[in-house]
């Protein structure tokens, strides 16, 4: 197999059921070289929103510092910040560093988008109500926890509710569902839709 130098490489195992194993080959990738110097060149005031995940800061100490600066710059510029923990334990030095780093970043976000399995690792519970309370207490204005086939559980400053999912007759592969969910929520918010409708779109795209 020939791989382009500097490319982000990720291979997915082939399985007949359940989720596949994912193998990462990211050392030396272009993304892993991102630095605070790169972030300093971004004109954050030209944007309205930034979406960050837990993958980029896992690639290197340089990217971790860069992402932390992105949070700070985005907050200073008044951007809406959404954050998906998107845990990749294989990419972190160890689990303690991962948990501390991810939760610190989540504390700087306006909207946090965890899953129940991520909650179990990051704060010790897979109960969506407890996960949402944890991240609300850290400072998030809204927390949207993905609860699989049930949909997504939302907690804001004034409301708490479940947005039901869409029925999927046969789940072939869940890889990408979380990213699709985030894309649905974010695009709907950027279009000015209410949060509940944004989460409904996220559920729809995640199901597809």
Q: What is the mean pLDDT of residues 70-97?
A: 96
Q: What is the mean pLDDT of residues 116-137?
A: 98
pLDDT of 27 higher than 80: no
Instruction: Tell me whether residue 27 is in a domain.
Output: no
The residues pairing with 83 across neighbouring beta strands, listed in sequence order, are 52, 112
Query: What percent of the chain lies above the pLDDT cut of 90?
Result: 76
Tally of domains in the chain: 1
User: What residues contact 30, with CB distance under 8 A and at least 6 apart?
Assistant: 6, 7, 8
Query: Do 145 and 116 contact (CB within 8 A), yes or no?
Result: yes
Total residue length of the chain: 208
Q: What is the mean pLDDT of residues 137-164?
A: 97
Q: What is the mean pLDDT of residues 37-56?
A: 97
Name the least confident of 13-27, 36-50, 123-137, 159-173. 13-27
Q: What is the mean pLDDT of residues 108-135?
A: 98
Instruction: Tell me whether residue 162 is in a domain.
Output: yes
Instruction: Tell me whether residue 15 is in a domain.
Output: no
The pLDDT assigned to 12 comes to: 62
Residue 89's domain comprises: 33-207
Instruction: Tell me whether residue 12 is in a domain.
Output: no
Report the C-alpha gap between 187 and 128 in whole angstroms.
Answer: 23
pLDDT of 167 higher than 80: yes
> pTM for this one?
0.86
Structure tokens at 135: 């991240």
CATH number at residue 200: 3.40.1190.20
Q: What is the mean pLDDT of residues 98-125?
A: 98
Q: What is the mean pLDDT of residues 73-85?
A: 97
pLDDT of 40 higher than 80: yes
Instruction: Tell me whether residue 21 is in a domain.
Output: no
pLDDT of 131 higher than 90: yes
Q: Is 179 a catalytic residue?
A: yes
pLDDT of 199 higher than 60: yes
The pLDDT assigned to 2 comes to: 36
Task: Catalytic residue, from 38, 110, 126, 179: name it.
Answer: 179
Kind and range of the H or E run holding 23 = strand 22-25
Report the C-alpha gap between 67 and 59 in whole angstroms.
Answer: 11
Which of helix, strand or coil describes residue 37? helix
Instruction: Tell me whether residue 51 is in a domain.
Output: yes
Instruction: Tell me whether residue 108 is in a domain.
Output: yes
pLDDT of 8 higher than 80: no
In this structure, the number of other CB atoms found within 10 A of the CB of residue 130 comes to: 14
Instruction: Tell me whether residue 178 is in a domain.
Output: yes
Report the C-alpha gap between 143 and 185 in whole angstroms.
Answer: 12
**In the predicted model, what is the mean pLDDT of the chain?**
90
């Amino acid at each position: 197999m020939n791989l382009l130098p500097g490319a982000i490489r990720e291979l997915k195992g082939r399985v007949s059921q359940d989720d596949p194993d994912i193998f990462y080959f990211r050392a030396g990738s272009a993304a892993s070289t991102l630095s605070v110097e790169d972030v300093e060149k971004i004109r954050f005031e030209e944007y309205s929103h930034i979406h960050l995940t837990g993958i980029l800061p896992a690639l290197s100490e340089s990217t971790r510092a860069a992402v932390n600066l992105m949070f700070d710059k985005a907050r200073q510029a008044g951007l809406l910040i959404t954050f998906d923990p998107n845990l990749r334990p294989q990419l972190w030095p160890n689990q303690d560093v991962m948990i501390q780093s991810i939760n610190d970043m989540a504390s700087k976000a306006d909207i946090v988008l965890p899953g129940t399995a991520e909650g179990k690792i990051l704060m010790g519970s897979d109960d969506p109500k407890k996960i949402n309370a944890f991240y609300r207490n850290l400072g998030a204005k809204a927390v949207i926890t993905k609860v699989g086939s049930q949909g997504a559980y939302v907690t804001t400053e004034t409301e708490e509710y479940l947005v039901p999912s869409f029925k999927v007759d046969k789940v072939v592969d869940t890889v990408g569902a979380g990213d699709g969910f985030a894309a649905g929520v974010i695009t709907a918010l950027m279009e000015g839709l209410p949060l509940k409708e944004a989460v409904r779109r996220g559920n729809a795209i995640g199901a597809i």
